Amino acid sequence: MQLIKNSYIYINQLSRRSKILLGVAVIVLVFVILHLGGGAPAAETLPGPTQVTLASVASLSNAGGPLPLTGRVTSISQASISALSGGQITSLRAKLGSRVAAGSVIASFENASQQAAVLQAQGSYDAALAAQRAVSPTDTRAAAVSTFRNAFATLDTTLSSQINLFFGVRTVYGPQLLIEAPEDNRFGKLSLEYEAITKELKLYREKLVTADSADPVQLLQYASELTERVSNFLNQLSIAAGRRTAGTTDAQVAALSSARSGINTLTTTLAAAASTYRSGSVTTTSSTDASITIALGGLRAAQASLEKTYVRAPIAGTIVSLPVHMGDFVSPGTLVAIISNPGALQVETQVTAADAKTLRVGGKATIEGSTPGTIVFIAPALDPLTGKIQVKISIQGSGLTDGSSVAVNLERGTTAANKNTITIPIAAAKITPQGPVVFTVASSTLVAHPVVFGPIAGGQVTIVSGLTFDMDIVVDARGLLEGQEVKVVAN
């Protein structure tokens, strides 16, 4: 006690500066005792290996998942459905008073030629894909000559089996035109042109004999020019046949429609064949890529033409008007049905042009995680204000509020365009200074594999090179490093 008292007296006798220095020294001494004098530190618990999940590239690519979007709920009370194309009604799947689901087919027109055009365009597209995988000058030459021969068969069938329905006995101007077209045929110009094309087709037949030794570029160019000439002739004949006083029969109208569809498809096929041959002759991939785009465009056009022969219900509801009957011949724009449903709702959203290619009318959708929907409309072109494509989804009995914003997931379709494409979740790839990589596991150690990115759609990224479908990769690469020790857990 006396020691403490004497220390207190001694401290009071010190100067102010000495007292401050003494206080600092005491604080430092206490800190050293507390932090360095506490004996041996407790042993730290080292974390175990990072746990990762593996999955095959094939399963990740096939599970591309729905397209997540945000949409707005709007209401529909009634929908009037008009024919997008003309023709004879060959199927009427509903009647007055029937309940129909959104996206269901109410009626369809005769569409054998459109189906054939889709099949032919699909073949051209598949051929373009095959050319991209292995371009051989010999194979491309044979393919070009084959296309040249097939084009003759198409042109010959068009003139001899379809267009000949419009012409009869020969006159001074050529074959007699069997419809009334006084203004267009005052000097027999349609007959003269038909006669000239028929003669040109005879020259075409002669070229078939020497096609194997001829220049494929010149062959395809000749076929394309004649096809374009036939297309222009069919356009002129269509104008004349469409006049009210022409007296055109149903058989002639159907034949003309089929002929124009076949010639349009042939134009696309010849363009794709020419592009494919050029790419093969110089052994490059840029031209084959262009030919794939051209062929895909032809396929999309053929599919769009076929879709126009179906009349679909844009909303679910009851048919309150059905002014057409089986066998009726209707023109484009004719009212086919009226559907009413005061309680029907739809969701409108916007997608990119790339995402729109993976969607289809009639495809499924999910709103707010649980409400089912059906895609009933995909705009054919970009909205100039948003730069995107509008998509409409029909829903019913959902309890959603008109005008509200909702989360939408759209089902992606599996097509020839994406069935051979590798896509993985973005989270499965890691961006490094050297470029993106994915990880595999070998002896509990991460191994990095460089990859090349393609387009990104939703949460998936297309892998151009670096992966194969049979590889097993880490599902989530975030925070991982090459050479890191990991533990694989069951998925």
My answer on whether 139 and 93 are in the same domain is: no
Could you tell me if 126 and 267 lie in one domain? yes
Instruction: Judge if 290 and 320 occupy the same domain.
Output: no
- The pLDDT, as a whole number, for residue 9 is 64
Domain range spanning residue 277? 112-307
Q: Are residues 398 and 427 in the same domain?
A: no
Predicted confidence at residue 449, as pLDDT, reads 93
Whether residues 147 and 281 fall in one domain:
yes
Of the candidates 343, 345, 324, the one whose C-alpha atom is nearest the C-alpha of residue 334 is 324
C-alpha–C-alpha distance, residues 137 and 148, integer Å: 16
Please tell me whether residues 363 and 469 are part of one structural domain: no
Q: Domain check: are 178 and 301 in the same one?
A: yes
Residues above pLDDT 70, as percent of the chain: 80
Same-domain status, 327 and 350: yes
Identify the residue with better confidence: 315 or 108.
108
CATH number at residue 472: 2.40.420.20
**Domains identified in the chain, total number:** 4
Query: How high is the pLDDT of residue 38?
Result: 47
Instruction: Return the structure tokens found at 468.
Output: 């194969």
Does residue 455 carry a pLDDT above 90? no
Q: Which of 360, 380, 410 is the last residue of a domain?
A: 410
Q: CA neighbours within 13 Å on the CB side: how many for 387?
A: 0
Name the DSSP class of 166.
Answer: G
357 and 396 within one domain: yes
44 burial type by CB count under 10 A (0-12 exposed, 13-18 middle, 19+ buried): exposed
| Cβ-contact 432, 478 below 8 angstroms | no
Mind listing the pLDDT tens digit for each residue in 60-82? Answer: 775 456 778 889 887 676 778 88
CA distance 60 to 477: 14
Non-local CB neighbours of 448 within 8 Å, separated by 6+ positions = 432, 437, 438, 439, 482
Percent of the chain at pLDDT above 90? 14
What is the per-residue pLDDT across 352-374, written as a single tens digit (0 to 9) for each?
887 787 788 888 898 888 888 88
**What is the distance between the alpha carbons of residues 481 and 489, in angstroms, rounded to a whole number?**
18
| Whether pLDDT at 214 is above 80 | yes
Q: In this model, does residue 247 exceed pLDDT 70?
A: yes
Cβ–Cβ < 8 Å for 312, 103 = yes
Distance CA 214, CA 209 (A): 10
With a CB cutoff of 8 Å and minimum separation 6, the contacts of 379 are: 389, 390, 391
Q: Which residue has the tokens 């004349």?
A: 240
Q: Are residues 101 and 118 in the same domain?
A: no
> Are 78 and 191 contained in the same domain?
no
Q: Which two tokens stand for residue 311?
A: 């009349």
Average pLDDT of the chain to the nearest whole number: 80
Measured CA to CA, the distance from residue 401 to residue 347 in angstroms comes to 11
10 Å Cβ neighbour count for 137?
A: 12
Residue 391, judged by CB atoms within 10 A of its CB (0-12, 13-18, 19+), counts as buried
| DSSP class per residue in 232-280 | HHHHHHHHHHTSGGG---HHHHHHHHHHHHHHHHHHHHHHHHHHHHHHH
pLDDT at 223: 92
pLDDT in tens, 138-176: 567 888 888 999 999 999 988 888 888 888 887 766 788
pLDDT at 45: 43
Residues 324, 463 within the same domain: no
Q: Is residue 388 part of a domain?
A: yes
